Structure 1
């Protein structure tokens, strides 16, 4: 098995090769071996009618952009290790909480969740000059990396409190290089009708919009939601009291996204009435004026009593033929005194209320309300300073017509998104699932969270989900929803270096390398490593059983069966093969000799010819 994330650069080369085979050549890789590469000069010639020659072109770039693209495509040798003791309802839940740098986690999720996420919400660090900036090594030059100009402390650990000062020459570049590869990878996970919501303030709004236009396409921009996050005026602001943040909304393909509606409230319906007992039900008067002047829409309408009704200044909304048809069907009626016309808009024809792009705090929550909620959840301790309100995230989720969708947040912070998903499910019997991703950023030692025993943000997020689920059950005793989550932690690969580079080891070194698996890894570690490598979801049920003194693991009723024991007997191999799983995995040390390993292939050819068998 490959045991490393997908090589996106290699896949892209293969796609170009399928279209332009003459543009594929060979180049020497970093390891000294030849690999396929693209002759860009020849490719440019092949596309000469579309290429803009010369130096002038409309483009958006910054120092480090190319490096960030390369990093997004570069495979990694890492894995996700299960942490059952931190999880809730491990065996039954379909929710995930993943600890680790989100760039690397997104790489590992590329195959398992390709095109499966309906909604992404992220609240990335705002570039205020004081907030945490992900210290990705690829955005630093060698001097930064080696001498540690703020990215690392004296012991070589990541400095999460580093300030990205506006006086820095890479102030905007660092932030752009941080967000760009993450959004590139995130787009791959969105379904064809998926949408992403990204919260941001004024500092990087313009740059984020340009980045999103590159990654998602300008044509897939849906909205810029302005959220009024505070009701209080800030007198310490120099020019204006800033009371809002932005949320950019983009789609994978806007043509596939169902129209957005909010559920109608009594407030929305109060203007509807039925004075003429229309059988279609409640209605209200609609505008009959054209929004833009057109000469052809300026005509007189003759009322049944002979009264002449003149067109408004811009003309009517419809042509003369359409007006006559709408009068005949009753969609347009005359006023009682025949002085004008009224268009009927029926409540029954309104599936909901089209959402505005200005979201006021009294309906969508404020930062103060969010801070108060999390403080109440944690028994009066302010463990997180700037959470988003669940009303804000719930409103985004409500716009999705599917209540069985997968929601991803890879800057999960205090896990507001998980809280919102569970709360929505409790109220509408939905089956939404969540994936939370968060790096274990340490809590400051002088913070209330640290003093309360929470050493990093992940500990806060996991505990918030536990407490939120309990509170939702208390408030909704009859509700049933998935209140658990599986915890996985990003870690180095399960395999020793010899697994990837056996040719680098001599015969004399082999006696100390009987196993190519690291000694601290369990069956469950290997099992989930195989799920990632084979591109299977990480949230489905599995069982473990003992067969002839060997532990056998079955995933989702046969999507994968694995046995990692030493010297697995033939009887166990045959039992697994008779179940005809889609995939079967063994360790190299499961077989005492090469003939035994060959025999496994023959057994599966005979009993389960369609099963894919691999050895790690």
Structure 2
């Protein structure tokens, strides 16, 4: 097998060597309409069999699951849909290049092949963990009967593996096949979007980590596996009867492990004059190595505050590095000092196989500070850490399970701090918030967000929340009419609505210490 290559791409390669081996044939799309694809002639296979050894070993090593063939085919079906830019809010797209796409991510990944093939530098996704939680917008419980599963993958009906339906029984995963059928074609398509030196990070937990590793080995190539990063997402004890699990995994693959994805080392850190020399300094070293100095506060910890916010072991470690010259003190206008580290020429940032001091509770706190309750959002610092692992400042980042849009937040925050031009593509299903089932969320958005245009009005009894144009009027106008208490009241949004990133970025309290750019950050919206 040619790892990660689409069937049609493989045929193109065969055609280059054996033009007479390829013909055209007809397939039917999900809508039943025919389309033309290339195919291998049967007689060519007969000729090949006489020239080379063919393995017909049914006991060969590979990952198998019911419906795998149909899942593979889903990645080959061309899209019959179109991305439509929202009229009236696309004027600044050429300046920003950021996209928020509403729609099924399988359809979106198919469509992105046309314009973004081999253009994405980094992909980060946090797919459903197959935990049995039915509240997530991508149904998080893939347990089902065999008959139901066959319907979902297109064996018993014409829908194919588009969206695995919510199941009422709690049998775990139908041997995980449903989850595998969901993720397989998406990863196949995602690989084709990566640049040759691109990378993909995938968050996962114990439920599907082993299966995901096997799938990624098949799609990206076992030789392109980089690391299974352990992220300590929680600390302290718990109520587990056997072992307290306080970590998740982040699988890291390169499209081509022979190529480095690291960015220009000269673009990292801040240039400062030290001892009459222009040196590049990382002045955020304490937070990166020892965690935030105070819950909910973003700024760096001053040297003078160490005794108040760090434990004795951490302080001793920092003092030892200062005495050795590994860390330096950087004086600030208020006569206090940040702790920094000089970046030596040729030195590059590295990722560690264990990530600590970035807890999942930070992500929850970040949204709670905005008055929003969201299930298990990833902390911005975690995504910053991954993006900032020497990724060039002009990189394009994709997240096709956007959730609460932490990835977009991290990209914008890094750009605001270092003047970078990183861009993002976020993909998420639009979600209706039912005013009866999710009254708090519904009322909160009605009270605090500008009303959507008439053409984005009500549907099916609930308000279909769609992103609005980002302009000074729509961003800063509505929140000023409400008290901070109103903005910060706790609401529970069980399923993501596309305003989440908008709320996350623009409704933060005055305590936010990284600046809002003078020119509004614009993100055009396209939908299927």
State the partner residue of 1:526.
Answer: none
CA distance in 1, matches of 2:58, 2:198: 36
State the partner residue of 1:449.
Answer: 441
State the partner residue of 1:248.
Answer: 251
For 1:343-354, what aligned pairs fall within 5 Å after superposition?
348=344, 351-352=347-348, 354=350
| Structure 1 counterpart SS, 2:83 | strand
| Structure 2 counterpart SS, 1:222 | strand
| Structure 1 counterpart SS, 2:253 | strand
Work out whether residues 469 and 483 of structure 1, in 8 Å CA contact, stay in contact via their aligned partners in 2.
no
Cα–Cα, structure 1 residues 238 and 78, in superposed 2: closer, same or farther, change >3 Å? same
**Aligned counterpart in structure 2 of residue 105 of structure 1, from 108, 117, 124:** 108
Work out whether residues 367 and 389 of structure 1, in 8 Å CA contact, stay in contact via their aligned partners in 2.
yes
CA distance in 1, matches of 2:37, 2:345: 60
The question of 1:199 aligning with 2:203 is answered yes
| Structure 2 counterpart SS, 1:119 | strand
Residue 141 (structure 1) shift: 2.6
Work out whether residues 139 and 166 of structure 2, in 8 Å CA contact, stay in contact via their aligned partners in 1.
no
Q: Deviations over 1:101-155 (max 9, x none)?
A: 000001111020111111100000111123455699x99434997999xx99xxx
State the partner residue of 2:390.
Answer: 400
Q: Which 5+ residue runs of structure 2 have no aligned equivalent?
A: 270-281, 290-316, 328-341, 447-462, 468-495
Cα–Cα, structure 1 residues 181 and 44, in superposed 2: closer, same or farther, change >3 Å? farther
In the comparison of the two structures, how many residue pairs are matched? 402
Work out whether residues 118 and 195 of structure 1, in 8 Å CA contact, stay in contact via their aligned partners in 2.
yes
TM-score using structure 1 length: 0.57
The question of 1:208 aligning with 2:208 is answered no
Work out whether residues 8 and 75 of structure 1, in 8 Å CA contact, stay in contact via their aligned partners in 2.
no
User: CA RMSD, aligned part only?
Assistant: 4.0
Work out whether residues 262 and 392 of structure 2, in 8 Å CA contact, stay in contact via their aligned partners in 1.
no
Work out whether residues 130 and 165 of structure 1, in 8 Å CA contact, stay in contact via their aligned partners in 2.
no
State the partner residue of 1:424.
Answer: 414
Residue 18 (structure 1) shift: 2.2
State the partner residue of 1:17.
Answer: 15
For 1:232-247, what aligned pairs fall within 5 Å after superposition?
232-235=236-239, 237-247=240-250
Work out whether residues 198 and 261 of structure 2, in 8 Å CA contact, stay in contact via their aligned partners in 1.
no
Residue 59 (structure 1) shift: 1.3
For 1:231-310, what aligned pairs fall within 5 Å after superposition?
231-235=235-239, 237-258=240-261, 265=285, 271=320
The question of 1:55 aligning with 2:51 is answered no
For 1:454-465, what aligned pairs fall within 5 Å after superposition?
462-465=498-501
Residue 469 (structure 1) shift: 3.8
CA distance in 2, matches of 1:211, 1:239: 29
Work out whether residues 228 and 244 of structure 1, in 8 Å CA contact, stay in contact via their aligned partners in 2.
yes
| Structure 2 counterpart SS, 1:112 | helix
Work out whether residues 101 and 439 of structure 1, in 8 Å CA contact, stay in contact via their aligned partners in 2.
yes
| Structure 1 counterpart SS, 2:369 | helix
Work out whether residues 415 and 436 of structure 1, in 8 Å CA contact, stay in contact via their aligned partners in 2.
yes
| Structure 1 counterpart SS, 2:208 | helix
| Structure 2 counterpart SS, 1:488 | strand
Q: Deviations over 1:443-466 (max 9, x none)?
A: 465344345348568665543333
**Aligned counterpart in structure 2 of residue 475 of structure 1, from 506, 509, 513:** 513
Of the structure 1 ranges 103-112 and 435-444, higher mean CA displacement relative to structure 2 is found in: 435-444
The question of 1:124 aligning with 2:160 is answered no
State the partner residue of 2:234.
Answer: 230
The question of 1:486 aligning with 2:516 is answered no
Cα–Cα, structure 1 residues 273 and 81, in superposed 2: closer, same or farther, change >3 Å? closer
CA distance in 2, matches of 1:44, 1:350: 55
CA distance in 1, matches of 2:152, 2:93: 45
Residue 171 (structure 1) shift: 4.2
Cα–Cα, structure 1 residues 125 and 87, in superposed 2: closer, same or farther, change >3 Å? farther
Cα–Cα, structure 1 residues 352 and 164, in superposed 2: closer, same or farther, change >3 Å? farther
Q: Deviations over 1:529-570 (max 9, x none)?
A: xxxxxxxxxxxxxxxxxxxxxxxxxxxxxxxxxxxxxxxxxx
**Aligned counterpart in structure 2 of residue 381 of structure 1, from 372, 375, 398:** 372
State the partner residue of 2:481.
Answer: none
